[in-house]
Amino acid sequence: MNTATFIIKVGGDYACFTNPGLKVERCTYPVMTPSAARGVLEAIFWKPQFRWEIREIKVLKPIKQISIMRNEIKDRQNVKPIVIEQKKQRQQRASLILKDVEYVITAEIVLKYGINNRIGYIDQFRRKLDGGQCHHTPYLGTREFAAWFEPATGNEEPDETIIDLPLGQMLFDTAYRENNERKEIHFHRHRGEEKRVAGGYAHALFFDATIKDNVLFVPRAKYQELYKLEDVHV
């Protein structure tokens, strides 16, 4: 397996890492999920020839949760446009979110099978990270909670108390599975330089998560399960 490891420091004023099973009111996990960490890295640099794999997430600041009310729309955006001027589409919902968060993400670039441009991708990501550049603004769970990022030294330590916390079943990531009989969503599929639109459904994967000495460790085996569901070869 052709890999390269990076450590990145990220943070923001607010964050909301939601369990996808909670459809009505948002309730955040106490810590960033692996899928949210991947989303931050892909916002900085992404190519279809590799995948980001999260190895660990270190919590640098105490976990602070607050409750807020937000204006949202009732339905999800789909092929048919949503007319938000209609009163029945507008709703106020309570959200339990995180305040003043800061993490160090350890992650690897894992090349897909047959791809050999490892050094090129490493250099491109490092230039973007060092220059504070990104493809689009990274966010912490939801788009209204923007994230800042910078290179980590590897010597970052938590601000205050040590956190040891069992989290139970936590969202790992989402597999987008092709299925002609169950076309609930559409997404892009990449094979080499080719890109096509596929139909199928989203399959959420979970893992038994624990924060130990302020670090959430992510099991490598879950990525193999993810790749098998998506028929991706790395």
Q: What is the share, in percent, of the chain residues with pLDDT greater than 90?
A: 63
What is the spatial distance between Cα 234 and Cα 221, in angstroms, rounded to a whole number?
A: 13
The per-residue pLDDT for range 76-124, each reduced to its tens digit, is: 555 454 444 555 556 777 889 999 999 999 999 998 877 788 889 999 9
Fold of 3-168+210-217: Alpha-Beta Plaits (3.30.70)
Structure-model confidence comparison of residues 3 and 57, the more confident one: 57
pLDDT score at 75: 57
The per-residue pLDDT for range 173-216, each reduced to its tens digit, is: 999 999 988 989 988 888 767 788 989 999 999 999 999 999 99
pLDDT at residue 64 above 50? yes
Q: Which of 71-75, 129-133, 139-143, 173-177 has the lowest mean pLDDT?
A: 71-75
Q: Where are the domains of the chain?
A: 3-168+210-217
> Distance from first CA to last CA of the chain, Å, rounded?
7
pLDDT score at 141: 94
Chain mean position to CA 21? 16
What is the spatial distance between Cα 176 and Cα 196, in angstroms, rounded to a whole number?
A: 14
The 10 Å CB-count burial string (b at 16+, else e) for 8-39 is bbbbbebbbbbbeeeeeebbbbbbbbbbbbbb
Burial of 131 (0-12, 13-18, 19+ CB in 10 A): exposed
pLDDT score at 82: 45
* Full-model pTM: 0.87
What is the spatial distance between Cα 56 and Cα 36, in angstroms, rounded to a whole number?
A: 12
DSSP at 81: P
